[in-house]
Amino acid sequence: MRLLKDFSTYLSVEKGLALNSVESYSLDLAKLALFMEERGKELAALNRQDIIDYLDMLRESDVAVSSVCRAMSSIRGLSRYMLEQGLMDEDPAENLTSPRKWASLPKALSIEDVRGLLSVEGSSSLAVRDLCMVELLYSSGLRVSELVGLKVMDFNLDAGYVRVMGKGSKERVIPAHSRAIESIKRYLAELRPRLMKNRVSDYMFVTSRGKPMTRQRFWQALKEYGRAAGIDLSPHTLRHSFATHMLEGGADLRSLQKMLGHSDISTTQIYTKVSLSRTKEVYGKHHPRA
């Protein structure tokens, strides 16, 4: 559809959004376009009631709250764009509130589960790369899209930090602990040269063909390691675990906000609820009068 193509170009060129973010918008809005088509309407004819009905349909389909919030964000972006382009006279999404993000607490692994995951010995010839990525994901709380987008020049292994380009092209510098650094050094020395052969790539993590790792391929590998460790892993589990364990270890919210790349500290504050929930669980299990 021409409107969605133009909007995608606008996001990437005018707004400078990363490719994965543009793809997320496109997927969400393609579903909305199909919903409108079933109503016999063009996407450009979107009105407030259409949006409400579409969100209700998502909720009734047991779509995750976070996914409904993301869909709402995509619709807001498209509505503003159509208003700016003169395709409509008023913004149909104005003042519409999306469902509370993180209505349910994000899942975090126990420290014991993380240790079990990181001790799995992969059978694949690419295990050195995969476990290196898992170690770094938990070490620094990266988003998966940020992890696969890292380039060799983003690392300062001597100083122990990595430079990350996050959402909205915002750059941040995150420390990585010594075990993650050692895993990266091993990967660079043992495996990456074999994968690259005589090819050249700026990306740190590459496939057997020398191409950049994709989010889909990494999550497939992570699922396999999770099964081997007896852990049910889902997207962002290690990022949630990083944040929760940092807070439990005494990290302050502002520092954690910077490391996670949250623009709003209220997003970071959800992890205080996770820590409180775990504290109550421990209390109930171990206090003699609980």
Does residue 167 carry a catalytic annotation?
A: yes
The full DSSP string for 34-54 is HHHHHTT--GGG--HHHHHHH
Q: Which of 70, 129, 236, 245 is catalytic?
A: 236
Contact in structure between 148 and 205 (CB atoms under 8 Å): yes
Which has the closest alpha carbon to 77: 34, 17, 166? 17
Q: Cα(136)–Cα(176) distance, rounded to whole angstroms? A: 7
Does residue 143 carry a catalytic annotation?
A: yes
Q: Which of 192, 239, 240, 245 is catalytic?
A: 239
Q: Which of 70, 143, 192, 245 is catalytic?
A: 143
Q: Which of 25, 187, 225, 271 is catalytic?
A: 271
Q: Cα(161)–Cα(250) distance, rounded to whole angstroms? A: 20
Does residue 262 carry a catalytic annotation?
A: yes
Does residue 258 carry a catalytic annotation?
A: no
Q: Which of 167, 172, 258, 278 is catalytic?
A: 167
Does residue 177 carry a catalytic annotation?
A: no
Which has the closest alpha carbon to 90: 98, 82, 101? 82
CA angle 116, 183, 209 (to 5 degrees): 105
Does residue 239 carry a catalytic annotation?
A: yes
Q: Which residues are catalytic?
A: 143, 167, 236, 239, 262, 271
